Amino acid sequence: MAYSGPFQPGDRVQLTDAKRRHFTIVLTEGGVFHTHKGQIFHDDIIGLDEGSVVRSVQGSEFLLFRHLLVDHVLSMPRGAAVIYPKDAAQILVEGDIFPGARVLEAGAGSGALSMSLLRAVGEKGEVFSYEIRKDHLEYAENNVDEYFGGRPANWHPRLGDFGEVTLEDLGGPVDRIILDMVEPWHFMDTARNLLIPGGVLMTYVATVPQLMNTMETIRGLKCFAEPRAWESLVRDWRVEGLATRPEHRMNAHTAFLVSARRLADGVTPPRPQRKARR
């Protein structure tokens, strides 16, 4: 699949009609897409630039763009709930996922975060994705393979328990660890042993009790700097002249994110100074 340039066979294309309904096709030579507004021939799309318009045999117009990563994540098959784009974006930036990084994620789910991580680390980086459930791992593998048009050479999906992972399994320590699991606080010792000093640990948890247990466990180990917790809320706006207003529906709470930096071996973190209560 190409990311830019004229459409070519193998591209995943999103067609949008006049009512803003979306339809997705994968281009093949000689292919035909059947709609209630008539047939659309793939050969009429191949060779066009993105942002073009194609007409069905009945004359209806459809706007053409390639699938963005966000489109693929929200429409792909899933066995487990995905990390939504608003949270994946926070993980990439707050977790400082850089080109060439070695990243380990535990809880591959349906592969949504794996795609974002693979694009961020580039060809010189590596992503290790551990999943304890075989059916979830199969979803992740199928979704990632479909998006990239094959298995990325630097992606290592593995069926297994994160708590049993060793440095030998990874070929050395990793730069970043992301935990998307029900009880991540049980695996902080493992994360400490696998993470390079200065590396970033991030967790993705849905409820307040999970958040509290995660934060207190990180603090209790005394091998991480003071952890930070937050959530991201996204709200669209409808902009129509004097009727401009926020949308009634919004992407509110999905999960809490927690991040912490690993300290050097043998270092005790300074005790946080908090204001005295009046």
Q: What is the CATH number of the domain that holds 36?
A: 3.10.330.20
Position 232 in a domain: yes
The answer to whether the annotation marks 96 as part of a ligand binding site is: no
Last residue of a domain, one of 48, 67, 86: 67
Same domain, residue pair 49 and 133: no
CB-based contact 144:116 (threshold 8 Å):
no
Asked whether the predicted pLDDT for residue 51 surpasses 80, the reply is: yes
**pLDDT over 90 (residue 276):** no
Specify the pLDDT at position 79: 80
Q: Tell me whether residue 161 is annotated as binding.
A: yes
If asked whether residues 146 and 199 sit together in one domain, one would say: yes
* 242 assigned binding-site residue: no
For 73-126, what is each residue's pLDDT tens digit? 888 888 888 898 999 999 999 999 999 999 999 999 899 999 999 999 999 999
pLDDT of residue 109: 86
* Ligand-binding site membership of 56 (annotated): no
Same domain? 95 vs 55: no
Number of domains in the chain: 2
pTM, entire model: 0.87
- Quick one: pLDDT at residue 14? 92
Is 72 annotated among the ligand-binding residues? no
Instruction: Report which residue type is found at 92.
Output: L
pLDDT digits (tens, 9 = 90+) for 125-179: 999 999 999 999 999 999 999 888 899 999 999 999 999 999 999 999 999 999 9
The confidence band for 3, taking pLDDT boundaries of 50, 70 and 90, is confident
DSSP code for 180: -
Write the pLDDT tens digit of every residue in 197-252.
Answer: 999 999 999 999 999 999 999 999 999 999 999 999 999 999 999 989 999 988 88
Residue range of the domain that includes 56:
6-67
Determine whether the annotation assigns residue 111 to a binding site.
yes
| Annotated binding-site residue? 243 | no
Residues 57 and 94 grouped into a single domain? no
pLDDT of residue 216: 96
Residue 105, both tokens: 């994620």
Same domain, 212 and 241: yes
Asked if 45 and 183 sit in the same domain, the reply is no
d(CA 166, CA 104): 12
131 labeled binding residue: yes
Say if residue 104 is in the same domain as residue 154: yes
Secondary structure class of 152 (helix, strand, coil): coil
